[in-house]
């Protein structure tokens, strides 16, 4: 299992989540553009109010009228804002079409006055032979520029910016939509190493060869060997496939192109194929590099069951990827890594030799791997000397690396919440229970009859597990609600198991039915509390018949179903399946499931009736303490 790079997040608080208008991040995004706009408007207003007004000083109207009477003013321009008079000298130096706003402040022979409603002015100018005319209102050149060009263009770009943000940046990159969206990490910038990866030693050994080739390609080409063109990492979610790819790039010291399969596909037909071409074009420009395609199944689904006639965007993208992988030579130092947790849906053309030649399984870690993963994730966590990581590894069977990383983080948070300076073993135990059973519902108050029913139910599970051969030991019993459950019984295997016998499967059905039987013993009726147990028991019985060949009539025969593709195209949510057996066989399967469950029910009921006094004692202990650990439970059943 691989270590997973931590990702930081921002907690804006409950108030900011409820009121997005008070989001500080949103204010920071708009603060700079708004500041620029305010500075521009304020600057132009100051310029107009100071400089333009000083360029055209005014005189009193009485003085203006007196200069007309004296004959000094020979021409007058009348406007709504000003009366402007020109002397003989001004007429010789200025064009009659000149704008008043453009004349110098020190120019002689130009006089401006604020208009006054004076009916004597016109007769006076007629008697003096003054040339006068009315002119339209003249606005400032800078104000015209501001309101005619700057503000409209600014508003347009503002609207464009908001729309592009809402559309995920499509508006900003509409001309470059065919370019790839890979995150490119330069050579030497990848800090992840194989030492940061644990629990997948076999997978690391497979990838060491790829690293060695990228470092020393001549060693392979000299003997005539060829490195695989593509390496496909296969495994369940959370096992660290992406980190393994980063470790390969970090160890080799080469450029690293990382892109998700879903980023190739867009609403426009042909965009995905264009992005594939652009990605490989950029990668070939590098001397040595790694292309990592995460979630390959997003574009690599099989074309066999496609109902789109071969013209859909995903299929075109896949075809281009196949062509590009056939067209480049791995000897040039270009390696394609891909990861998926659905190898069963991939197109066979992707998996043939010459494309993804090598398939590396990245499975869930074993006991040793889990312990090593816990050590890696707790390197920066202050642990108490009493913390036993080996014991935690034994109690987390079936956990992936991401689960273990989450447990370490949850334990640290629980320690902080409790006011401790070091993380204790109890914090890890609570984190494991929180991961398995859910959050503890401390505020949920149960009725007394519900508490009694829950105590008997969980006691039934624990009692059957204790007296069933090869059953996993009970580590904790609780009637405190967690998640959707009113109580839980925790069983942890002491070692990893990779095969399960028929008797073990029947024993698991017995443990699941123990809670339902205990309820019947105390109340004489059934409740809905055992619905999940019945679902799991029925599922085990069905797989015994259909998948494992453990039925009487079809011993050693698998009664499977196969997919028919998506009958409604890509918009349908559920795939269609077709069974490969007759209707009469389906009836037999239903009857055999009922027979197995009823048979185990009768056997488990007999066991619990024989242990009823001990079961009642266990239920009373749970009602008193609410929680029993492994030691307390073993001490109680030892009294039998």
Residues with a known catalytic role: 458
User: Are 489 and 461 a contacting pair, CB within 8 Å?
Assistant: yes
CA dist 376 and 389 (Å) reads 11
Alpha helices in 167-236, H assignment, sequence order: 201-215, 218-221
CA dist 486 and 578 (Å) reads 38
CA dist 542 and 516 (Å) reads 20
Name the β-bridge partners of 290: 256, 335
Residue 349 contacts by C-beta under 8 Å, 6 or more apart in sequence?
322, 355
DSSP tag of 51: I
User: Are 4 and 373 a contacting pair, CB within 8 Å?
Assistant: no
Q: How many residues does the chain have?
A: 640
Indicate the Cα dihedral angle 560, 562, 568, 572, nearest 10°: 60
CA dist 330 and 288 (Å) reads 10
Pairing of strands 577-579, 561-563: antiparallel
| Residue 283 C-alpha from the chain's centroid | 26
Residue 533 contacts by C-beta under 8 Å, 6 or more apart in sequence?
512, 513, 515, 516
| Burial environment of residue 176 by CB neighbours within 10 A (0 to 12, 13 to 18, 19 or more) | exposed
Tokens 């921002």 belong to 10
| 479 HSE (CA, 13 A, CB side) | 29
Q: Which helix (H) or strand (E) holds 627?
A: strand 627-629
CA dist 55 and 101 (Å) reads 7
CA dist 104 and 82 (Å) reads 16
CA dist 574 and 316 (Å) reads 24
User: Are 233 and 175 a contacting pair, CB within 8 Å?
Assistant: no
DSSP tag of 475: E
User: Are 516 and 533 a contacting pair, CB within 8 Å?
Assistant: yes
Based on DSSP, count helices (H) and strands (E) in the chain, helices before strands.
Answer: 24, 15
Alpha helices in 418-477, H assignment, sequence order: 425-437, 448-466
DSSP assignment of 71-104: T-EEEEEE-SS-EEEEEHHHHHHS-TT--GGGS-
């Amino acid at each position: 299992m691989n270590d997973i790079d931590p990702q930081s997040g921002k907690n804006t608080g409950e108030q900011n989540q409820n009121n997005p208008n008070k989001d500080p991040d949103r204010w920071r995004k708009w603060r700079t553009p708004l500041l620029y706009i305010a500075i521009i408007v304020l600057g132009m207003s100051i310029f107009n109010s100071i400089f333009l007004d000083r360029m055209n000083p005014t005189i009193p109207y009485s003085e203006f009228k007196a200069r007309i009477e004296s004959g000094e003013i020979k021409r007058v321009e009348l406007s709504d804002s000003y009366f402007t008079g020109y002397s003989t000298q001004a007429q010789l130096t200025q064009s009659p079409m000149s704008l008043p706003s453009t004349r110098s402040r020190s120019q002689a022979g130009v006089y401006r006055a604020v208009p006054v409603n004076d009916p004597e002015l016109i007769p006076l100018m007629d008697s003096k032979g003054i040339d006068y005319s009315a002119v339209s209102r003249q606005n400032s050149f800078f104000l015209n520029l501001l309101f005619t060009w700057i503000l409209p263009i600014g508003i347009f770009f503002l609207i464009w910016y908001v729309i592009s943000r809402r559309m995920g940046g499509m508006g900003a990159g509409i001309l470059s939509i065919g370019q790839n969206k890979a995150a490119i990490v330069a050579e030497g910038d990848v800090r992840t190493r194989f030492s940061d990866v644990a629990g997948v030693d076999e997978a690391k050994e497979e990838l060491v060869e790829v690293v060695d080739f990228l470092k020393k390609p001549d060693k392979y080409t000299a003997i005539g060997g060829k490195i695989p063109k593509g390496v496909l990492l296969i495994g369940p979610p959370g096992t660290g496939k992406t980190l393994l790819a980063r470790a390969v790039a970090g160890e080799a010291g080469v450029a690293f192109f990382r892109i998700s399969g879903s980023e190739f596909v867009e609403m426009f037909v042909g965009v995905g194929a264009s992005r594939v071409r652009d990605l490989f074009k950029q990668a070939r420009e590098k001397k040595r590099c790694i292309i990592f395609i995460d979630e390959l199944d997003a574009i690599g689904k099989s074309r066999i069951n496609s109902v789109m006639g071969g013209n859909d965007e995903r299929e075109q993208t896949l075809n281009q990827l196949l062509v590009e992988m056939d067209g480049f030579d791995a000897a040039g130092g270009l390696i394609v890594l891909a990861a998926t947790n659905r190898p069963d849906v991939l197109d066979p053309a992707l998996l043939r030799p010459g494309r993804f030649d090598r398939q590396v399984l990245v499975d869930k870690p074993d006991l040793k791997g889990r312990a090593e993963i816990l050590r890696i994730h707790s390197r920066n966590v202050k642990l108490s000397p009493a913390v036993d990581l080996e014991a935690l590894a034994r109690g987390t069977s079936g956990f992936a690396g991401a689960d273990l990383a989450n447990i370490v983080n949850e334990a640290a948070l629980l320690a902080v919440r409790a006011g401790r300076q070091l993380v204790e073993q109890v914090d890890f135990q609570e984190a494991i229970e929180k991961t398995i059973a859910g959050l503890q519902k401390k505020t949920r108050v149960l009725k007394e009859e519900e508490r009694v029913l829950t105590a008997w139910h969980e006691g039934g599970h624990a009692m059957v597990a204790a007296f069933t051969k090869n059953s996993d030991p009970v580590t904790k019993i609780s009637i405190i609600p967690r998640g959707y459950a009113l109580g839980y019984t925790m069983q942890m295997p002491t070692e990893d198991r990779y095969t399960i016998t028929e008797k073990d499967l029947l024993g698991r059905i017995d443990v699941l039915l123990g809670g339902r039987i205990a309820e019947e013993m105390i109340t004489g009726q059934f409740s809905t509390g055992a619905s999940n147990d019945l679902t799991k028991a029925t599922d085990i019985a069905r797989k015994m018949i259909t998948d494992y060949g453990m039925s009487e009539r079809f011993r050693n025969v698998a009664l499977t179903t196969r997919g028919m593709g998506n009958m409604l195209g890509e918009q349908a949510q559920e795939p269609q399946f077709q069974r490969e057996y007759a209707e009469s066989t389906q009836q037999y399967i239903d009857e055999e499931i009922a027979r197995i469950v009823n048979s185990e029910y009768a056997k488990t009921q007999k066991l619990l009736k024989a242990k009823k006094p001990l079961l009642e004692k266990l239920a009373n202990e749970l009602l008193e303490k609410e929680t029993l650990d492994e030691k307390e439970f073993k001490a109680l059943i030892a009294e039998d």
